[in-house]
Amino acid sequence: MVQHPTIIEIIETILGKDMTLGGFSAHILNPGATNMGVHVDYPYWTMKPPFPTYPIMEVQVIWMVEDFTEENGAPLFTPGSQKLCSPPDLVHFSKTAEKVTGKAGSVVVSHGLCWHDTSVNATEKPRVSILGNYGPKFVRPLEDPLHDVRQEVLERATPKLKQLLGYQFKSDLFKDIQRIRLQEWNR
């Protein structure tokens, strides 16, 4: 999923061909879950406003594992808020946010500065999505994408996947430590 050709083409158009993966994880919104809180994405939330308009520092991809509906916690976005280059204004957000609904298999691609939140899951089932965060290579990822990658995955990885994982940025020492750790982990 992290190297889906259409998604990579879109992200490369926005961030450049040498972007990296900042994080990739499942997001489960359990029944009764409330809003998580209006926010912008990393690295913007670590900065003092006004946030820079260029270069773009993060693009988030939300894969809908199941349908996103009005009832099950579909995410809320304020269209165009990335142009404000500011932390979310809760009053403005409450007046302008729109739920993003769609069918399983659909993808939401958003600018990291776009104000967003989850909505309430008023159903009896969890709502599951996969979140991928991409950034330019000069932004240090929030997570270490290589942390849990097994050696056999790296050995068969495409050049694009190695790039996304930041493999070329790791020192030979780190690669040796990673190899040893993976060998111990696989025992």
Q: What is the pLDDT of residues 114-155, one digit of tens each?
A: 999 999 999 999 999 999 999 998 898 887 777 778 888 888
Range of the domain at 16: 5-143
Do both 139 and 151 map to the same domain?
A: no
Show the CA angle centred on residue 89, arms to residues 86 and 94, nearest 5°. Answer: 140
Show the CA angle centred on residue 38, arms to residues 13 and 68, nearest 5°. Answer: 70
Write out the H or E segment, with its range, that includes residue 103. Answer: none
Do both 179 and 131 map to the same domain?
A: no
pLDDT at 90: 96
Rounded mean pLDDT of the chain? 91
Do both 126 and 166 map to the same domain?
A: no
Q: How far apart are the first and last CA of the chain?
A: 28
Do both 56 and 138 map to the same domain?
A: yes
Q: Which residues, 6 or more positions from 1, have their beta carbon under 8 angstroms from its beta carbon?
A: 7, 24, 63, 130, 132
pLDDT at 175: 60
Residue 141's CB: how many other CB atoms inside 10 A? 20
Exposure string of 77-108, with b = 16+ CB inside 10 Å and e = fewer, is bbeebbebebbbeeeebeeebeebeeeeeebb
Domain boundary among 122, 143, 164: 143
pTM for the full predicted model: 0.85
Domain boundary among 108, 123, 143: 143
pLDDT band for position 187 (cuts 50, 70, 90): low
Q: How far apart are CA 109 and CA 60, in angstroms?
A: 6
Residue percentage of the chain with pLDDT more than 90: 73
Do both 168 and 104 map to the same domain?
A: no
Report residue 18 as tokens. Answer: 């040498």
